Structure 1
Amino acid sequence: MKSHKVINIRGASNYTHLKRHNAIESGRINALDMLVNGNPLEEVLSELVSSLESATTGLKCLISLLDSSRTVLNPFVGPSLPLPLLEALKNQKVFPAATTCAVAIGKRELAVSEDIIQDPHWHELQNVAIACGIRCCWSQPIISPNGEVFGTFSMFFPTSGVPEQDDIDSLTYEAQIVSIILERANNIQQLKETNAELERRVEERTQELTNTNHMLKKALDQRNEVQNQLVELENMAALGTMMSSLTHEINTPTGVAITAISYLRSILSKTTQAFQQEQLKRSELEQFFAATEESVDIVERNLIRSTQLIKTFKQLSLDQHSQEARKINLISYVNEILLTLKPRLKRSNQKFCFDIDPELEVYSNPGAISQLLINLIMNSVQHGFDAKQIGHIFFKIRVIEQAIGQPMLELIYKDNGCGMSEYTIENLYKPFFTSARHNGGSGLGMHICYDIVVKVLAGHIDCKSKIGKGVEFTVTFPVSLDKPELDSF
């Protein structure tokens, strides 16, 4: 039988016509909640599989994963399949393919075994399958947005048959959900390993970074107490970008200072040698003094620049994990945020424009503001522009007075990207809603922005957009122009 090719499914809204829609959506939501709450990966995927099985009589599902060599396939989650069949399906070689699952991996598309008894790929496992009440198998490869094959999602039935379009859509969508869950699980594990390595390095650094290390440990300790682990992943990713930017930016002044010191050491050696041999001339001594003065000046200026960079990145790092208000100069703060995003923006073609009074300073929550701007910028870069498109991002920030006399900060953010449909705008702030799930979108970026504006800054956010006309966000929240007074006891 000719295999059915993978169908590009953009989202759950396309499945309203499917018989299994309610079970699929229920399983997806429950599985994502379990992943966020830290449940083991086996339990998360078992929830997904069990929900689908409950909607179809006789259906038994199996998620199989490739090993590290990418040549052997093993069962990972199959709660309803008999143990003898699971044992028989261990260590399946992808080449040559011994089962429908292995065929799906090799062809990177849906593989169908209408009748296991007549399928040569099941020759060695026919007896076990029939003894376990299995007669046909449909298998869909699990492929990440970047093209990496994780394994297969398979459906087993007690009677022979071929999949209808409803079955193909269900298999395709379930495989996409598993791909997203596996990718998120890998990201969480990588983050844990990265954090462990970061802690080890921070402990070896100078006392000057001890406070920053303490904040990182505190953030890690609090991660298990918050209800949304993926929001914490966004914060830690931003911090990693800051550290990468710091390394990149500090290399230049440090390198210049080292070069100047090397030159100074060279002329010092020559002058010392001439002095010891009583051959030092007045002109050479004057030349030594001039070169020394110039080198010291170069070293001093570049070390001051390095110190300023460290202070800037240290403050931004502290802001990410602090809810305390402090005085900030808005044009300087926006520039510092863009500096931290340089590694993530270096492959894009965006141009930034500002309409901000250079003297405008307010007391507010800098960590919330930086996270808000980072998410808005990355949302434009990832969803608003094509890879080669030259985009423009515009900031306008000003203070407006409310009727009650409370100063309000108005932040207008625009881009000239592809824009959004009315449906996207209506669902923009919902958690896990994304128009780019096939590209690995988590659906949390704008949900985080909404929470920051409403819950942290006590403000309001409004979005205007049309397809092909870019996007405009207007954010307003209360600020103080003078230092807030402490409550008296």
Structure 2
Amino acid sequence: METTRSSMGCHQPLCADNTNIMRLMESFTRLQHWLDATSIQQRLRLLALLSAAGLCMLLALSLLAGSIKDGYFEAPDALNAQQRQLQHFNTETARLQLTIQDNLHAPDDSLDERIDGSTEKLLSEFQALNRAARGNKEALDLLRKSLDDFSQGYLALRQINQRIDEHYHQELILPSQTAAALLEKLLRETSAAEPAHAEASARIHAAFIETLLKMNTYYTKHEMTVSHATRSALEHLTQTITALEGKALNETERRQLRDLQRQIQTMISGLGNLQRAYATRDQIMQDRIQAALQHIAQGASLLDGRYTAGEQALRARYALHQGLVNGVAVTLSLLVIAVAFGLGTLIFRSISTPLTQLLHTVEAYSAGDFQHPVPDVGNNELGQLAGSLREFRLSALQRNLAERALRDSEGRFRALSDMSSDFFWEQNSMLQYTAFSGQRAGELLTSNVLKLGVRPWENPRVVEYEDEWALHRQQVESHEAFRDFEFALQLESGTYLYLLASGDPVWSENGDFRGYRGTAKDVSAQKASEAKIREFNLTLEQRVIERTQALEHSNQQLSQAMEQLVQREKLASLGNLVAGVAHELNTPLGNALVAATSLHDQVREIEQRIDSGNLRKSDLTEFIQLSREGCELIERNAHRAVDLVANFKQVAVDQTSAQRRGFDLAQTVSEVVATLSPSLRKQQHTISIDIPPGIELDSYPGPLDQVITNLVTNATVHAFAPGDAGHILISASMVGVDEILLMISDNGVGIPVDKHARVFDPFFTTRMGQGGSGLGLYIVYNIVISLLGGSIQLLSSPGMGTCFVLRLPRIAPEVEEEDDA
């Protein structure tokens, strides 16, 4: 009995769990049946109501959070108002400090009024701040004491400023005016005296004027160096007046000098008082004004720290409340989402399952399988859709029967459709035309080109094709089908209408011959085209010969024009070379001429001295020295001219001929650059050469000179804007033993990428109509490729300059010479 009770006790929880599961399944089944019995519209309405209830609860929580936020922002608003008042107080303090500094550097009544107004405004801001921040007694007491110290310091500052003005006017301005009057009187009385005495009085007057300027500068700028200079000048004036007093002409002048001495002593004493007053003002400014302003800033900073701490406490309290509300909102949101998701899933399954069954049915019907049954999905909207599908299935079955009959009918006319063209025709068993139809049929019947009641070969409009008609007659009399029988009918205009006919015999159900049915197609245009093609083929060969001769003549003219343009480019380059060398020769020849002329004048002068007997040894020594220098100058410039002529001769010979010889690359490039230098200097461009000596080539120096000249000229014309000073670099190096790398680069505007592929094309230029022929780089490319046996590559981008890279063999390939003929 105990074992039984124990066994029953162990199974009771398991039985309870199974019972709960069964009850849950029964509830789910009842809910599923209820959803199936409910229309889709009601299901969706229920889901919408549930979602709306959840949204209402979330809205209530949002309003609660908003009320918490509003309660939080009321306290920070008051705190922000106090902070704004504190900012206004700091702003007024800074503005007052700047105004005091301006008044110290340039005293003005308007600045005094601004300082008074700023002080009153600062006190007003403090009163407002005191009312708003009652809980910050320590900071407010510091601010109040600092403001009292500032007011007392500013009062003392104004008093010392008044004392400075009194010292300046009483002890400097008034004595200086008296001294100026004495100096004017002294100058008038001494002007008629001896010049030395009058000059001393004038110097005292000028020194006094300069001293007054320094004194005024010190008063306005307060610079100690100017103060010391003013005092030194006054003391120097005192010494000068003392010295002049002993040389006075009379007692009146001596008395005037003593009076002047006393006034200047008064000015020296006043200047000392002014210096001490300025020192006192600086001390007040530093010990009282600046210290008070610093204390004010400390009090404002202390008050700002209290405000910041209060704001942080408010933020922490707001974060706590907001976190509680957010936690409740998230929990409620998850609950609403779970309920909505569960109910939505049930509603979705109650709709999607029958809808999927109906979709499979529709897919089967779309594939043509109308044997698929329509499922039973209830009496809701989907049931109505299922009923529509049943009706569609019945109509589709009926349509299939109709389509089968239509396909049988289409089979009877497919042959005619394949042959369809301009019109259809029918014949009876006697092979006579009984009907014509189609767009062209009416037109041809009206013009009597086609006739009813006659056999095709009996039509009087039939022309030509006698043999073809005989064969066709035998074919149709044998009741055979025919295709593409061609014949011609003459129109009223005398032209021919070419037709292509096809036909099939028609038989009765008993197998009796009923006639023919077929189509006809107008092929007149095709026949005309074939005739034209035959005619074109007959004359094609002659036209090809004539066109070939015309092209050869055009090519010959183009080649001659190209040769003339290339020769013109070479002559233009040689002309520039001649002009440059002439400009270069002008300088050494002019220097030699000047030296010879000067030497000739020296010879004539020494001859005159010899004739007059006044020749001295020093004159002869000087003449010999000048003669030696003149001869050296003439010799040096003559050698320079000879070198230029030699370079020009070599370059000119090279550029006007394609003679092959051995040469040093650095020397040849230097000779070419020497001929180009005048034009480059005129355009403010510079050119440099970076070629190591000892690179020997067995090649064609003339064409190479032409290449370098064209590339440098192209850079000066296209790479630099007018007025810009550009730089061109010619460098070279060995690549292995048998090849050199020659680069001509500039720091100009560069060449756009879309033009790289065309720069070596003939007649391509960006300066068409402005003197550019478009043949410079074309000539360069042909010389490098064909004559020098190398390659040329362009490296450029906009704004980064341009570089032409030439790879040349050290020993140029052999070139076959063309006959003169």
In the superposition, the TM-score normalised over structure 1's length comes to 0.49
Pick 1 or 2: higher relative contact order, CA cutoff 8 A, min separation 6.
1
Larger Rg: 2
More strand by percentage: 1
In the superposition, the TM-score normalised over structure 2's length comes to 0.30
More helix by percentage: 2
